[in-house]
Amino acid sequence: MPVSEAQKKATREYLKGLDEIRIRAKKGTKARWKAAAEERGQSLNQFIVDAVEADMVSPDSSQERPQAGGLQLPTEALKTAQEAAEATGEAVSQFVERAVVDQAERDKRSWRMGINPATGKKAGE
């Protein structure tokens, strides 16, 4: 079905309110980012925007940050965090911070739907 003139006009108007940014990255980066975005249920575009915005909020891991009382991760979780942080170019602390914030947001959405995010069960089951 061809796109109507009204749809074309609506698209042009929508695009007038957006900035377009082109980025270049090493081969394979797009696929990794796209997979990470899909895991979060996001578009690649939104994933990149969120990452940049998050970095603007807390850009430097060397800034003074509250400590979690010597929190330790299980060996496998730490290894996974280190690999993921290396792939994204973040410090492990930045990756873990982002992972916790992202997961907390997903958990909030689950709770709003009446689902316990830890068990996947509806409340009362």
- Three-state SS annotation for 25-66: CCCCHHHHHHHHHHHCCCCHHHHHHHHHHHHHHCCCCCCCCC
Query: pTM for the whole thing?
Result: 0.43
What is the SS3 assignment for 1? coil
Q: What ranges do the domains of the chain cover?
A: 27-58, 74-125
Query: Which pLDDT belongs to residue 1?
Result: 82
What is the per-residue pLDDT across 18-70, written as a single tens digit (0 to 9) for each? 999 999 999 999 999 999 999 888 999 999 998 888 878 765 544 444 445 56
| Partner residues linked to 115 by β-bridges | 122
Q: Are 45 and 33 in contact (CB under 8 A)?
A: no
33 backbone dihedrals φ, ψ, rounded to 5° = -65, -40
| Alpha-carbon distance values, 102 to 37, 66, 105 (Å) | 12, 19, 5
pLDDT at residue 93 greater than cutoff 90: no
Sign of CA dihedral 52, 57, 60, 62: negative
pLDDT at residue 75 greater than cutoff 70: yes
Q: Are 91 and 62 in contact (CB under 8 A)?
A: no
| C-alpha gyration radius of the chain | 19
